[in-house]
Structure 1
Amino acid sequence: MTPSTCLTRLDEHQATILGILQRGERLLKAPERDAPALARARWELARALLAYQGFKHRELFDPVAASGCPRRAPVARRLKGECEAVGESFRAYVAKWSAVSVLDCWAEYQPAALRLIAQVRDHLARERRETAALLTA
Protein backbone atom coordinates (compact mmCIF):
# COMPACT_ATOMS: atom_id res chain seq x y z
CA MET A 1 0.00 0.00 0.00
CA THR A 2 1.41 3.39 -0.93
CA PRO A 3 1.83 6.16 1.66
CA SER A 4 -0.85 8.15 -0.14
CA THR A 5 -3.32 5.25 0.02
CA CYS A 6 -2.53 4.69 3.70
CA LEU A 7 -3.15 8.35 4.49
CA THR A 8 -6.39 8.33 2.53
CA ARG A 9 -7.63 5.32 4.50
CA LEU A 10 -6.46 6.91 7.76
CA ASP A 11 -8.41 10.05 6.86
CA GLU A 12 -11.53 7.99 6.11
CA HIS A 13 -11.34 6.26 9.49
CA GLN A 14 -10.75 9.57 11.23
CA ALA A 15 -13.66 11.24 9.42
CA THR A 16 -15.97 8.48 10.64
CA ILE A 17 -14.74 8.86 14.21
CA LEU A 18 -14.93 12.67 14.12
CA GLY A 19 -18.52 12.46 12.87
CA ILE A 20 -19.47 10.20 15.77
CA LEU A 21 -17.72 12.53 18.22
CA GLN A 22 -19.61 15.52 16.81
CA ARG A 23 -22.95 13.74 17.19
CA GLY A 24 -22.04 12.70 20.72
CA GLU A 25 -21.07 16.23 21.64
CA ARG A 26 -24.41 17.52 20.35
CA LEU A 27 -26.22 14.91 22.45
CA LEU A 28 -24.22 15.87 25.53
CA LYS A 29 -25.01 19.56 25.11
CA ALA A 30 -28.67 19.16 24.15
CA PRO A 31 -31.30 20.36 26.62
CA GLU A 32 -32.96 16.91 26.60
CA ARG A 33 -30.85 14.06 27.90
CA ASP A 34 -31.14 10.99 25.72
CA ALA A 35 -29.39 8.10 27.47
CA PRO A 36 -30.22 5.48 24.79
CA ALA A 37 -28.82 7.72 22.03
CA LEU A 38 -25.69 8.35 24.09
CA ALA A 39 -25.23 4.61 24.65
CA ARG A 40 -25.62 3.94 20.92
CA ALA A 41 -23.05 6.65 20.13
CA ARG A 42 -20.66 5.21 22.72
CA TRP A 43 -20.86 1.74 21.16
CA GLU A 44 -20.67 3.13 17.62
CA LEU A 45 -17.52 4.99 18.64
CA ALA A 46 -16.11 1.84 20.23
CA ARG A 47 -16.58 -0.10 16.99
CA ALA A 48 -15.09 2.71 14.87
CA LEU A 49 -12.07 3.09 17.16
CA LEU A 50 -11.45 -0.66 17.13
CA ALA A 51 -11.57 -0.75 13.32
CA TYR A 52 -9.27 2.28 13.16
CA GLN A 53 -6.80 0.73 15.60
CA GLY A 54 -6.76 -2.53 13.65
CA PHE A 55 -6.11 -0.69 10.40
CA LYS A 56 -3.28 1.38 11.85
CA HIS A 57 -1.56 -1.56 13.48
CA ARG A 58 -1.86 -3.95 10.53
CA GLU A 59 -1.29 -1.52 7.68
CA LEU A 60 0.91 1.20 9.16
CA PHE A 61 2.66 0.74 12.47
CA ASP A 62 3.53 -2.98 12.43
CA PRO A 63 5.00 -2.99 8.90
CA VAL A 64 7.07 0.13 9.55
CA ALA A 65 8.24 -1.18 12.94
CA ALA A 66 9.19 -4.50 11.31
CA SER A 67 11.16 -2.72 8.59
CA GLY A 68 13.99 -2.11 10.99
CA CYS A 69 14.55 1.38 9.64
CA PRO A 70 16.48 3.13 12.44
CA ARG A 71 14.60 6.42 11.97
CA ARG A 72 11.09 5.15 11.29
CA ALA A 73 10.74 1.91 13.29
CA PRO A 74 11.02 3.56 16.74
CA VAL A 75 8.46 6.19 15.73
CA ALA A 76 6.06 3.49 14.55
CA ARG A 77 6.46 1.59 17.84
CA ARG A 78 5.85 4.78 19.83
CA LEU A 79 2.74 5.65 17.80
CA LYS A 80 1.41 2.13 18.27
CA GLY A 81 2.00 2.37 22.04
CA GLU A 82 0.19 5.71 22.21
CA CYS A 83 -2.68 4.25 20.19
CA GLU A 84 -2.94 1.32 22.59
CA ALA A 85 -2.93 3.68 25.60
CA VAL A 86 -5.78 5.76 24.15
CA GLY A 87 -7.65 2.55 23.34
CA GLU A 88 -7.24 1.31 26.90
CA SER A 89 -8.43 4.65 28.28
CA PHE A 90 -11.51 4.45 26.07
CA ARG A 91 -12.22 0.84 27.12
CA ALA A 92 -12.09 1.90 30.78
CA TYR A 93 -14.46 4.79 30.01
CA VAL A 94 -16.92 2.44 28.27
CA ALA A 95 -16.75 -0.08 31.12
CA LYS A 96 -17.41 2.61 33.71
CA TRP A 97 -20.29 4.35 31.97
CA SER A 98 -21.97 1.25 30.55
CA ALA A 99 -22.52 -0.10 34.06
CA VAL A 100 -24.50 2.87 35.44
CA SER A 101 -27.35 5.13 34.45
CA VAL A 102 -25.63 8.18 33.01
CA LEU A 103 -28.73 10.23 33.80
CA ASP A 104 -28.30 9.48 37.50
CA CYS A 105 -24.66 10.60 37.30
CA TRP A 106 -25.05 13.42 34.79
CA ALA A 107 -22.96 15.96 36.74
CA GLU A 108 -19.99 13.57 36.54
CA TYR A 109 -20.78 11.89 33.22
CA GLN A 110 -21.24 14.91 30.97
CA PRO A 111 -17.86 16.57 31.71
CA ALA A 112 -16.12 13.17 31.57
CA ALA A 113 -17.64 12.47 28.15
CA LEU A 114 -16.71 15.92 26.87
CA ARG A 115 -13.13 15.45 28.13
CA LEU A 116 -12.96 12.08 26.37
CA ILE A 117 -14.17 13.67 23.12
CA ALA A 118 -11.47 16.35 23.41
CA GLN A 119 -8.83 13.70 24.20
CA VAL A 120 -9.76 11.58 21.17
CA ARG A 121 -9.86 14.63 18.87
CA ASP A 122 -6.43 15.76 20.08
CA HIS A 123 -5.05 12.26 19.64
CA LEU A 124 -6.42 11.98 16.11
CA ALA A 125 -4.94 15.32 15.05
CA ARG A 126 -1.51 14.56 16.54
CA GLU A 127 -1.55 11.03 15.14
CA ARG A 128 -2.46 12.27 11.64
CA ARG A 129 0.48 14.71 11.63
CA GLU A 130 2.95 12.18 12.96
CA THR A 131 1.73 9.35 10.72
CA ALA A 132 2.02 11.58 7.65
CA ALA A 133 5.59 12.44 8.65
CA LEU A 134 6.35 8.77 9.31
CA LEU A 135 5.06 7.65 5.93
CA THR A 136 6.77 10.39 3.96
CA ALA A 137 10.14 10.20 5.77
Structure 2
Amino acid sequence: MSARFRKAVSVAESFARGKELFPRQRIYLCNWFVKLVKPGKEIPSDQVQCHVPMKMTKFDVRNYFEKIYGVKVAAVHTRIQKGKLRRDKKQPTKLIKKSCDTKVAYLTLVNQTFEFPNLFGRYKPWREDFTKEIDDF
Protein backbone atom coordinates (compact mmCIF):
# COMPACT_ATOMS: atom_id res chain seq x y z
CA MET A 1 0.00 0.00 0.00
CA SER A 2 1.24 3.45 -0.85
CA ALA A 3 1.49 6.28 1.66
CA ARG A 4 -1.22 8.30 -0.12
CA PHE A 5 -3.68 5.43 0.01
CA ARG A 6 -2.99 4.81 3.73
CA LYS A 7 -3.58 8.52 4.48
CA ALA A 8 -6.85 8.55 2.52
CA VAL A 9 -8.02 5.44 4.39
CA SER A 10 -7.14 6.98 7.78
CA VAL A 11 -9.05 10.20 6.93
CA ALA A 12 -12.08 8.18 5.82
CA GLU A 13 -11.95 6.10 9.02
CA SER A 14 -11.76 9.21 11.21
CA PHE A 15 -14.87 10.68 9.54
CA ALA A 16 -16.63 7.34 9.93
CA ARG A 17 -15.92 7.44 13.68
CA GLY A 18 -17.34 10.96 13.93
CA LYS A 19 -14.01 12.74 14.41
CA GLU A 20 -13.06 15.73 12.33
CA LEU A 21 -9.57 16.00 10.96
CA PHE A 22 -9.53 19.77 11.37
CA PRO A 23 -12.03 20.86 14.05
CA ARG A 24 -13.56 24.30 13.48
CA GLN A 25 -16.11 26.55 15.05
CA ARG A 26 -19.57 26.20 13.65
CA ILE A 27 -22.37 28.72 13.61
CA TYR A 28 -25.87 27.32 13.59
CA LEU A 29 -28.55 29.60 12.16
CA CYS A 30 -32.24 29.24 12.79
CA ASN A 31 -34.53 28.44 9.86
CA TRP A 32 -37.53 30.26 11.35
CA PHE A 33 -38.47 33.90 10.86
CA VAL A 34 -40.69 35.39 13.57
CA LYS A 35 -42.28 38.83 13.23
CA LEU A 36 -43.55 40.79 16.25
CA VAL A 37 -46.90 42.38 15.48
CA LYS A 38 -48.67 45.22 17.21
CA PRO A 39 -52.02 43.79 18.33
CA GLY A 40 -55.22 45.32 17.00
CA LYS A 41 -57.06 44.82 20.28
CA GLU A 42 -55.89 45.46 23.82
CA ILE A 43 -54.00 42.50 25.30
CA PRO A 44 -52.45 42.14 28.78
CA SER A 45 -49.00 43.65 29.30
CA ASP A 46 -47.39 40.24 29.87
CA GLN A 47 -48.45 38.94 26.43
CA VAL A 48 -46.73 39.29 23.06
CA GLN A 49 -48.32 38.74 19.64
CA CYS A 50 -46.21 37.56 16.71
CA HIS A 51 -46.55 35.96 13.28
CA VAL A 52 -44.77 32.62 12.96
CA PRO A 53 -44.36 30.13 10.08
CA MET A 54 -47.20 27.65 9.56
CA LYS A 55 -44.97 24.65 10.27
CA MET A 56 -43.79 26.03 13.63
CA THR A 57 -45.42 24.30 16.61
CA LYS A 58 -46.08 25.70 20.09
CA PHE A 59 -43.07 23.80 21.37
CA ASP A 60 -40.89 25.34 18.64
CA VAL A 61 -42.12 28.86 19.46
CA ARG A 62 -41.34 28.38 23.16
CA ASN A 63 -37.85 27.03 22.45
CA TYR A 64 -37.18 29.78 19.88
CA PHE A 65 -37.80 32.59 22.36
CA GLU A 66 -36.15 30.85 25.32
CA LYS A 67 -32.97 29.77 23.52
CA ILE A 68 -32.35 32.70 21.16
CA TYR A 69 -33.67 35.67 23.15
CA GLY A 70 -33.43 34.30 26.71
CA VAL A 71 -37.09 35.13 27.45
CA LYS A 72 -38.98 32.80 29.80
CA VAL A 73 -42.35 31.84 28.37
CA ALA A 74 -45.22 30.61 30.56
CA ALA A 75 -47.68 29.66 27.83
CA VAL A 76 -48.07 29.74 24.05
CA HIS A 77 -51.41 29.98 22.23
CA THR A 78 -51.65 29.84 18.45
CA ARG A 79 -54.35 30.49 15.89
CA ILE A 80 -54.45 30.52 12.12
CA GLN A 81 -55.59 33.78 10.56
CA LYS A 82 -57.26 33.21 7.22
CA GLY A 83 -56.08 35.27 4.24
CA LYS A 84 -58.23 37.97 2.70
CA LEU A 85 -60.24 37.32 -0.46
CA ARG A 86 -59.83 39.88 -3.22
CA ARG A 87 -61.33 40.17 -6.66
CA ASP A 88 -58.99 40.35 -9.59
CA LYS A 89 -59.02 43.86 -11.09
CA LYS A 90 -58.60 42.56 -14.64
CA GLN A 91 -61.54 40.13 -14.50
CA PRO A 92 -63.72 41.12 -11.54
CA THR A 93 -66.48 38.63 -12.32
CA LYS A 94 -64.37 35.49 -12.75
CA LEU A 95 -61.29 35.30 -10.57
CA ILE A 96 -60.82 35.79 -6.84
CA LYS A 97 -57.36 36.04 -5.32
CA LYS A 98 -56.67 34.96 -1.76
CA SER A 99 -53.69 36.12 0.28
CA CYS A 100 -51.74 33.56 2.28
CA ASP A 101 -52.90 32.34 5.68
CA THR A 102 -50.74 33.32 8.65
CA LYS A 103 -50.19 31.67 12.00
CA VAL A 104 -50.43 34.03 14.96
CA ALA A 105 -48.83 33.11 18.28
CA TYR A 106 -49.60 34.70 21.63
CA LEU A 107 -46.82 34.33 24.21
CA THR A 108 -47.45 34.77 27.92
CA LEU A 109 -44.24 35.88 29.63
CA VAL A 110 -43.08 34.90 33.13
CA ASN A 111 -42.68 37.88 35.51
CA GLN A 112 -42.05 40.27 32.62
CA THR A 113 -44.00 42.90 30.76
CA PHE A 114 -43.76 43.82 27.11
CA GLU A 115 -44.72 47.12 25.54
CA PHE A 116 -44.61 47.45 21.78
CA PRO A 117 -42.10 50.22 20.97
CA ASN A 118 -43.37 53.53 19.65
CA LEU A 119 -41.26 53.70 16.51
CA PHE A 120 -42.59 56.95 15.11
CA GLY A 121 -43.46 58.82 18.30
CA ARG A 122 -40.86 61.56 17.95
CA TYR A 123 -42.02 62.55 14.46
CA LYS A 124 -44.98 64.82 13.90
CA PRO A 125 -47.64 63.64 11.49
CA TRP A 126 -47.11 64.88 7.96
CA ARG A 127 -50.59 66.35 7.63
CA GLU A 128 -50.26 68.70 10.63
CA ASP A 129 -47.13 70.29 9.17
CA PHE A 130 -48.79 70.55 5.79
CA THR A 131 -51.91 72.30 7.17
CA LYS A 132 -49.76 74.78 9.12
CA GLU A 133 -47.86 75.70 5.98
CA ILE A 134 -51.10 76.24 4.07
CA ASP A 135 -52.53 78.44 6.85
CA ASP A 136 -49.34 80.54 6.91
CA PHE A 137 -49.38 80.92 3.16
Does the TM-score normalized on the shorter chain lie above 0.5? no
TM-score bucket (shorter structure): under 0.3
Q: TM-score, normalised by structure 1?
A: 0.21
> Greater helix percent: which structure?
1
Q: TM-score, normalised by structure 2?
A: 0.21
